[in-house]
A = this chain, B = another copy of it.
Amino acid sequence: MPRMAVMDSAVAREQALDAAEELFYGRGVQAVGMDDVRGASGVSLKRLYQLFPAKEQLVEAYLERRDVRWRDRLAGFVARREDPRERILAVFDWLEEWFGEDGFRGCAWINSYGELGATSSRVAAQVRAHKQAFRGYLAGLVADAGLPGTLAGQLFLLAEGAMVTAGITGQTEPAREAREAARLLVRAG
- Which residues of A are interface residues toward B (Cβ below 8 A)? 26-28, 30-31, 105-106, 110-119, 124, 127-128, 131, 150, 153-154, 156-162, 164-165, 167-169, 173-174, 177-178, 180-181, 184-185, 187-188
Complex contacts, A180 vs chain B, CB 8 Å: 150, 154
The 5 closest A-B pairs by CB, nearest first: A114-B114, A157-B161, A161-B161, A160-B161, A111-B114
Instruction: List 19 other contacts, CB 8 Å, given A28-B115, A105-B118, A184-B184.
Output: A28-B116, A31-B119, A106-B113, A110-B114, A112-B114, A124-B168, A128-B169, A153-B177, A154-B177, A154-B178, A157-B157, A157-B158, A157-B162, A157-B165, A157-B181, A161-B164, A185-B185, A187-B188, A188-B188
Q: Are A167 and B119 in contact (CB under 8 A)?
A: no
Partner of A177, one of B105, B157, B177: B157
How many copies of this kind of chain does the complex include?
Answer: 2
CA distance A114 to B112 in the complex (A): 6
> A159 — nearest CB in chain B belongs to which residue?
B161
Q: Are A181 and B158 in contact (CB under 8 A)?
A: yes
User: Which residue among A112, A115, A165, A187 has the maximum number of chain B CB atoms within 10 Å of its CB?
Assistant: A115
Complex contacts, A177 vs chain B, CB 8 Å: 150, 153-154, 157
Complex contacts, A181 vs chain B, CB 8 Å: 154, 157-158, 181, 185
Complex contacts, A188 vs chain B, CB 8 Å: 184, 187-188
CA distance A179 to B116 in the complex (A): 29
Contact sample, A vs B, 28 pairs, CB 8 Å cutoff:
A26-B118, A27-B118, A27-B119, A28-B114, A28-B117, A31-B118, A31-B119, A106-B114, A106-B117, A111-B113, A114-B115, A117-B167, A127-B168, A150-B177, A154-B178, A157-B158, A157-B161, A157-B165, A157-B174, A157-B181, A158-B158, A158-B181, A159-B161, A160-B161, A160-B164, A161-B164, A184-B188, A185-B185
